[in-house]
Amino acid sequence: MKVGVIAGGISSEREVSLRSGQAVFNALKELGYNVVFIDADIELCEKIKKEKIDIAFLVLHGGWGENGAVQGMLEVMGIPYTGSGVLASALAMDKEATKKILLYHGIPVPPFKVINLAEYEKLNIKEIVLPCVVKPSQEGSSVGVNIVKKEEDLKSAIEEAFKYGDRVIIEKFIEGKEIHIGVLGDKALGGVEVKPKKGFYSYEAKYTKGLTDYILPPEIDKYLYEKLMDLGLKAHKALGCKGGTRVDMLIDKEGNPYVLEINTIPGMTETSLLPKIATLAGYNFKTLVKEILELAIRENEK
């Protein structure tokens, strides 16, 4: 069986994807798999045909690598792949769609408002309750995200978010603990509490060593921890996700949990959260990579 690790892509998260992909490629090679690394670009289809892979291990972040487009292409080509399918990938990549589906399933999300460019032109900034979080509807790794505490900063934050798409989410800022739950297949692996040393869990804080403290397991009581793991698995299933995902949550000061988003292709770098969380369930990096691949193989045999 020839495994193609597909990484890179053309999104703003290309460099992170390449790092994740290289780590996965190295792990599979050390495990003895026949594996090839494929840098995803507009010639991706031709590269896959040339390499004659039997299964794709997707390590693409953002853009058409995580929104279901590449998954759809692979299905047309008859090549199985790791992780979530076309619909779940597209839904999870769209924060507005994710929130609406989670609400339908009774899963709490922070109060939010979605605006397009036409609505922004008519928006009365004074009506926005501060502090708030402004983010693009379809980006990952905290790209284009800003916490706004002053009215004079709101306009620039919204305009920055519009650089990454035609819809922007304005969300209530919830002060509290940020907890990420890892899910693999049909079980929650555990969680990690992230404590950025400055500001919030930004792109820089996510991918620069030393800028964030990681607490494994989170410093919360056992009952709340179990509740968060149940909620993470419920969110994963609500969108129809498969393979390994990471569900990002916040807990306010009263202990109320809120789901922010679901990452269908979580980072697999040395600072990434899913590999950290997986250690709580007894997986090292290699065994985690192997299980993600095995899940895809078993799914294809159904």
Q: What is the pLDDT along the chain (302 residues), one digit of tens a residue?
A: 999 999 999 887 889 899 999 999 999 999 999 999 999 999 999 999 999 999 999 999 888 888 999 999 999 999 999 999 999 999 999 999 999 999 999 999 999 999 998 998 888 888 899 999 999 988 655 678 899 999 999 999 999 999 988 999 999 999 999 999 999 999 999 999 998 777 666 666 565 677 788 999 999 999 999 999 999 999 999 999 999 999 999 999 999 999 999 999 999 986 789 999 999 999 999 999 999 999 999 998 87
Q: How many domains does the chain have?
A: 3
**Are 267 and 141 in the same domain?**
no
**Are 185 and 277 in the same domain?**
yes
Asked whether 233 and 248 are in contact (CB, 8 A), the reply is no
**Are 32 and 70 in the same domain?**
yes
**Are 43 and 122 in the same domain?**
no
CA 290 to CA 293: how far, in whole Å? 5
CA 23 to CA 270: how far, in whole Å? 8
Asked whether 55 and 80 are in contact (CB, 8 A), the reply is yes
- Catalytic positions, written as ranges: 13, 141, 207, 246, 248, 261, 263, 267
**Are 229 and 295 in the same domain?**
yes
Considering the entire predicted model, what is its pTM?
A: 0.91
Asked whether 176 and 253 are in contact (CB, 8 A), the reply is yes
CA 164 to CA 11: how far, in whole Å? 10
**Are 41 and 75 in the same domain?**
yes
CA 88 to CA 164: how far, in whole Å? 21
**Are 78 and 100 in the same domain?**
no
**Are 243 and 98 in the same domain?**
yes
CATH of the domain at 23: 3.40.50.20
